[in-house]
Structure 1
């Protein structure tokens, strides 16, 4: 009888001592033997040492990565520490590689009533290896955003993942020897690998104040050309990346992940005036579009009438927030008294400082902890119960959050960028078993557990008191994390690229959104929630769209609400009311208002229709409509205005040919701008 057979018999007969002694005695002889590490892992499972078992089984899989039995044991260990999404993924691999038909039958029935885990399992069990080229909006570091998590999960699913960071800038003294080929060779030579993800950094070479070479497109093109054995999927995240997509040669499936409102340049400081056009072009070029927020989804589906859009909210990695008993409170937190109320994340102008300080000052017996990055100078007031701990690595975040009592997200709820966002930090708070208080952000109220909405000092303080006495349900949290994992989001991308999303699944998504919005409207006093319900109703009834949008507009004339109300009036051809709303607007530029009124006075219907879309920021439709105008002078005028909007300049020579339009407010405005 071999040593491994003896160990197996000892384990079956529950002879733990002899199994352990034999394993230790033969360790050096079997160090590179997958069966040895599998048995060692099984022994750890037998005695409930799941963390040790995971280490042993990972070693076994590194030696034999196509062993269904090892994957089964590994998945079982993960399941026992509460990492259900990873467990479903590796049970999928077990099903794929196992030769045991009875075992496969048992695994197949495991997720009949858990849709999210079932999708992960089926994707892992049946997925054909693909190559994902991720054009990220941020580099690879210690702080993780959506694209980092997506990359990790796609790699776990067995795909080749190529992560392209934004270009890094280098200064060169002499540009003669700089070429895109030289830079691209350097980018590939300096590729780094993290957890199965290959990370490439393109280069912008600067000589003096002049950019002499940028190899971003060449890096992506080389990746597209290099991948020949598998299907290629390119993921984009930023509007300007349409220029990359337009330049690429070869076959690939393109998914645009829409994660922000790129039209809100007041708060989307990373944006460009051209984004409003680039994003529409990028979506037109995409084979599929995902959105992280319901408002973005409805904008694409209900307003823009796109058919290839999928809702893919943000998520969390269970593994990143599993606690062990040997994790100690960090030194910079231990002396901060409880109860601790934390904000973790980016700090920019969308953070509601006025509300935040009202809450801090009205709760002197509670500690408010800031863990974040960005514009810390926005915190202008020093308070004895306010503590700044700076930026923390993603891997360290759980050690801080687990010692908090409440997580908060005090964002300015009336800004477009917040209406269209789905904060990852909310998922991370929930994963750390702490209740959450947010302002009236739509996505924070849709399908989120252990969350209370509050948008002024008194309601926030009441929510704090309620949260401090709240008893959380561990099973509810576990189910929520299983349903909202990055593995599930990555599996969705795979299913989209394989055209596996059924009409019934799409209809179920819409039905769920409708039911959730109905609940929000009935339970919260928020005109923004009413507006979202109005946009949803537009899918079935234009008049309901206008009716609900008017109701919201009458309550509060916010930018987002006004824009959707104007869209409803365009849909229903209600020109008189449209003009009335435009006339009162504080968001629409005066020269556009005056041009609309002028064209109404001259009864130029084609011009009126085009300018109406410009009033709501739909530049794409505006450009399509002006191209059809019968008067070429009007076309030149409106093209000149768009050039002014995007580039801040006007072609004087072209403008002088507009003498026949001297009464046009836009013409007068542009001529004054030149002078």
Structure 2
């Protein structure tokens, strides 16, 4: 076994994050150190760091202002047992377990535990925050004694295709161990708030300065430069949440409209997707390049299907589209409706004909009309503010454990 190193080539009406912590009900860890001594945050994630840039990357990059961050991914199967490192910054390191091909499940758990223990011993980490995105990581980390445990529940993973059958049981264990639970939206908050005394909703936020540059003309990226307008765009993972039948009907209804899709196709057969001449799959793009694409679109869309996998989502792309100055049309995803649709920031459409009509309204400048209100909302819901509020709650929880 070795550890190797490599270099990297909400609406204001629902102010849930200000709930007070009750010292009598806080689940304390076994360790007790001064709050200022907590230097490390170890994150267990089901998502790859270099996959789509989303909630984990936004939050944990900001967490480096307060902690050394170690981002542990799910294992990769190879020829030897090792734990590779990739330094994203001097304060954030991605760790990837590599397990030998043919390793049986029980042995895989033991080996991951061994790799993590060796890593922590080598780094002399004994006072840390454990931050979970996947309850499945408890299988190899439940022996650790973090200062506090945070569960950032960004999705209802059990509703996704291919979810492990034991995920719900592991989430129950994680909820019992966690000191504090964050959720990626208000619907998720409502689903989890009765299961833990300290649940706080932190919906998708925005890096306004990054996306607002799209409001000024940007060079059109080469792979969409030859495509005519009007352009209606989507950016995100194309999976079981994506309503490909809606897209198919829209493309057939309006052959002159060009539908731009940025992002990877995962967990579904690409053959089921519409392949008409006005539907363009441009693949995954880097986060830094998204404003250039958005700047050369006319309308942005959120064509999500209404199914179990979308019941609790709070799409990060909603505020990003708005920050880019794009009118937005979405299917009636619950958190999108309550946060943006009810505020008249975007249009909500529940059928192909309604979606078509809404895009037409956006193309003719009929919606939205109050960009001042939109910008005020976006500025109040930055990722910087979200991390600051999360860390305030984390520090308060750690302080309570010292007082106890």
Match of 2:136 in 1: 240
Does structure 1 retain, via aligned residues, the 8 Å contact 2:212–2:325? no
Shift of 1:332: 1.4
Query: Are residues 337 and 423 of structure 1, via their aligned partners in 2, closer, same or farther at CA, if it must alter by over 3 Å?
Result: same
Change (3 A) 1:486 1:195: farther
- Bigger RCO of structures 1 and 2 (CA < 8 A, at least 6 apart): 2
The aligned counterpart of 1:21 is: none
Q: Determine the C-alpha separation between the residues in 2 that align with 1:326 and 1:350.
A: 32
Structure 1 residue 152 displacement after superposition = 0.7
Alignment match, 1:635: none
Give the corresponding residue for 1:429. 321
Quick check: 351-360 or 472-481, which moved more?
A: 472-481
Counterparts of 1:150-549 in structure 2, within 5 Å, are 150-155=59-64, 157-172=65-80, 183-184=82-83, 187=84, 190-194=85-89, 196-206=91-101, 215-222=111-118, 232-248=128-144, 250-264=145-159, 268-302=160-194, 304=195, 306-323=196-213, 327-374=218-265, 375=268, 377-413=270-306, 415-448=307-340, 450-468=345-363, 469=365, 470=367, 473-499=370-396
- Describe the shift of the 1:195–1:484 C-alpha distance in structure 2 as closer, same or farther (beyond 3 A): farther
| 1:196-245 Cα distance to aligned partner (Å, 9 max, x none) | 31222222122588996664323444565567689521110112122234
Q: Deviations over 1:354-402 (max 9, x none)?
A: 2221222112221111112114614444323222211111121111011
Q: d(CA) in 2 for partners of 1:130 and 1:485? A: 25
Q: Distance in 1 between matches of 2:54 and 2:284?
A: 14
- The TM-score with structure 2 as length reference comes to 0.79
- Following the alignment from structure 2 to structure 1, what is the Cα–Cα distance between the partners of residues 304 and 328? 13
- Helix, strand or coil at the partner of 2:280: strand
Q: CA deviation at 1:310?
A: 0.6
CA offset at residue 167 of structure 1? 1.6
In the aligned structure 1, how far is the partner of 2:204 from the partner of 2:376?
A: 16
**Cα distance between partner residues in 2 of 1:147 and 1:210:** 27
Alpha carbons 2:75, 2:98 under 8 Å: kept: yes
Q: Is the 8 A contact 1:224 1:232 kept in 2?
A: no
1:413-457 per-residue CA deviation (whole Å, 9 max, x = no partner) reads: 2x1220111111222211211111111111111222631111102
* Alpha-carbon distance between aligned partners in 1 of 2:175 and 2:259, rounded to the nearest angstrom: 41
Is the strand fraction higher in 1 or 2? 2
Give how far 1:321 is off: 1.8
SS state at 1:332 partner: helix
Hey, what's the Cα distance between the residues in 1 that align with 2:269 and 2:322? 25
Structure 2 vs 1, CA of residues 416 and 298 (structure 1 numbering), >3 Å: closer, same or farther? same
Q: TM-score when scaled to structure 1?
A: 0.49
Cα distance in 2 for residues equivalent to 1:251 and 1:471: 47
Asked if structure 1 preserves the Cα contact closer than 8 Å seen for 2:46 and 2:133, the reply is: yes
Q: For 1:50-98, what per-residue CA distance to the aligned partner results, in whole angstroms no more than 9, with x for missing partners? A: xxxxxxxxxxxxxxxxxxxxxxxxxxxxxxxxxxxxxxxxxxxxxxxxx
Structure 2 segments unaligned to the other structure (5+ residues) = 1-14, 17-34, 399-404
Secondary structure class of the residue paired with 1:499? helix
Contact 2:40 2:125 in 1 (8 A): no
**1:660 equivalent in structure 2:** none
Contact 1:433 1:477 in 2 (8 A): no
Note the C-alpha offset of 1:293.
2.2
2:21 corresponds in structure 1 to none
User: What does 1:85-104 correspond to in 2, within 5 Å?
Assistant: none
> Counterparts of 2:167 and 2:141 in 1: how far apart (Å)?
15
**Distance of 1:161 and 1:457 partners within structure 2:** 44
> 1:654-673 maps to which residues of 2 (within 5 A)?
none
| Whole-Å separation in 2 of the counterparts to 1:219 and 1:211 | 15
**Secondary structure of the structure 2 residue equivalent to 1:365:** coil
Equivalent position SS for 2:49: coil
Deviation digits for residues 603-643 of structure 1 (CA, Å, limit 9, x no counterpart): xxxxxxxxxxxxxxxxxxxxxxxxxxxxxxxxxxxxxxxxx
1:476 deviation in Å? 3.3
SS at match of 1:153: helix
In structure 1, C-alpha distance between the alignment counterparts of 2:368 and 2:127, rounded to whole Å: 48
**Structure 2 CA distance for aligned equivalents of residues 292 and 208 of structure 1:** 34
Alpha-carbon distance change, 314 to 153 in structure 1, aligned in 2, over 3 angstroms: same
- Residue 284 of structure 1: SS of its match in structure 2? helix
Inter-partner Cα distance in structure 1 for 2:368 and 2:47: 38
CA distance, structure 1, for counterparts of residue 377 and residue 296 of structure 2: 21
Partner of 1:639: none
CA distance in 2, matches of 1:410, 1:295: 19
- Structure (1 or 2) with the larger CA radius of gyration: 1
Aligned positions, number: 357
